[in-house]
Amino acid sequence: MNRDTGHLDRHLVQRALELGRGTDPAALSELVQLLARSLAEVRAAAAAAIGQLAGFGLDEQAAVCALAPVALHDPQPETRQSALHALKAFGAAARNLLPDLDLLVRSENAAANVRQAARATAVSIREAVRHSEQEAVHRCARCCRPASREEHMSSRLVFDRTFCPDCFDDVFRERRDPDPEAERGAQRL
């Protein structure tokens, strides 16, 4: 590495760190460009900065899509570790990466620190997914009233839809008992 390149690389690392300390979600586009740089330190700093911007209105899916290739395939273990750590900040938005993270945890070709970071990231994402599902507001498919998590789960098991207790009982009776008008017409024949 020549002197000019070394100066530029240090400048890019500093720029990534500066962007990560900010609160501007528009910085994501510049950080994504930095993730593509050849120097591992620049990629690691950019990945960490993206994680630091989580919660400031950043497009979570775009951030996860930018971090995923670095976390899963970067040739430098420390850079992968930085991207994996950053993915934790996006929680449930990174749920689609869970199968890849599970493979990485079991990979004998990955460095031990990468496997450990992948395991911690997968645990964190699973916890965020569980938490988001518990916090979700479920509504009755019939009357739109809020349904508790338990009402949601039990009615989904029976009907594959969410129903409040009143509508659950009505739908159950309707499906169990034939239409009274149709039955009277059939008896007359």
For residues 152-171, give the mean pLDDT: 83
Q: Say yes or no: 75 and 159 in one domain.
A: no
Q: Say yes or no: 14 and 38 in one domain.
A: yes
What domain range includes position 98?
3-135
Q: Say yes or no: 64 and 120 in one domain.
A: yes
**pLDDT tens by residue, 17-50:** 999 999 999 999 999 999 999 999 999 999 999 9
Q: How confident is the model at residue 6 (pLDDT cuts 50, 70, 90)?
A: low
In terms of Cα–Cα distance, which of 86, 154, 72, 147 is closest to 115? 72
Q: Say yes or no: 64 and 126 in one domain.
A: yes
Q: Say yes or no: 127 and 94 in one domain.
A: yes
Residue finishing a domain among 135, 151, 178? 135
| Percent of the chain residues topping a pLDDT of 90 | 62
Residue finishing a domain among 114, 135, 156? 135
Q: Report how many domains make up the chain.
A: 2
What pLDDT is stored for residue 1 in this prediction? 45
Phi, psi of 139 (to 5 degrees): -125, 150
Q: Say yes or no: 126 and 170 in one domain.
A: no
**pLDDT tens by residue, 104-160:** 999 999 999 999 999 999 999 999 998 887 777 788 888 888 888 788 778 778 877
* Domain CATH number, residue 47: 1.25.40
Residue finishing a domain among 95, 115, 135? 135
Q: Say yes or no: 130 and 142 in one domain.
A: no
Beta strands 138-139; 146-147: pairing state: antiparallel
- Whether this prediction's pTM lies above 0.75 is answered by no
In terms of Cα–Cα distance, which of 103, 113, 129 is closest to 78? 113
